[in-house]
Amino acid sequence: MGQVRARVLVSGLVQGVFFRDSTRRLAIGLGVTGWVRNLPDGRVELLAEGPDGAVRRLVAWCHDGPAGAAVRDVAVEWGDPRGEFDRFTIARTPPP
């Protein structure tokens, strides 16, 4: 299995530090790099790179989220990794 990149948009009752921090902790545990942030329209955006299986586990987790999150929809765009990130961050704005 190779490396993949996924851009994930999660909508529903997902805004807030708890969802972002839970996503970040899981990503670090899976060895996935990238960032996660709240969008002004109420969605959460996640950009993740790493081993195919690990990124797919993170994306699958986003469909349920942590306890208390009410995920309505998850949109995923798959792509080839670019190797831009060396750690997983909570971003106010996306990295350049």
Among the listed residues 1, 21, 4, the one whose alpha carbon sits nearest the alpha carbon of residue 55: 4
Domain that holds residue 16: 3-75
**pLDDT per residue as tens digits for the range 7-20:** 999 888 777 667 88
pLDDT value of position 1: 62
Is pLDDT at 29 greater than 60 in this prediction? yes
7 among known catalytic residues: no
Instruction: Report the alpha-carbon distance of residue 47 to residue 30 in Å, rounded.
Output: 14
Assign residue 31 the CATH number of its domain. 3.30.70.100
When divided into structural domains, the chain yields a total of: 1
**Mean predicted confidence (pLDDT) in 54-65:** 90
Q: Are strands 33-38 and 70-79 parallel, antiparallel or unpaired?
A: unpaired
Exactly one of 20, 24, 43, 56 is catalytic; which is it? Answer: 20
Percent of the chain with pLDDT over 70: 90
In a domain, 40, yes or no: yes
pLDDT value of position 70: 80
DSSP per residue, 6-56: EEEEEEEE--SHHHHHHHHHHHHHHT-EEEEEE-TTS-EEEEEEEEHHHHH
Give the predicted TM-score (pTM) of the model: 0.86
Is pLDDT at 82 greater than 80 in this prediction? yes
In a domain, 20, yes or no: yes
Exactly one of 5, 38, 43, 56 is catalytic; which is it? Answer: 38
38 among known catalytic residues: yes
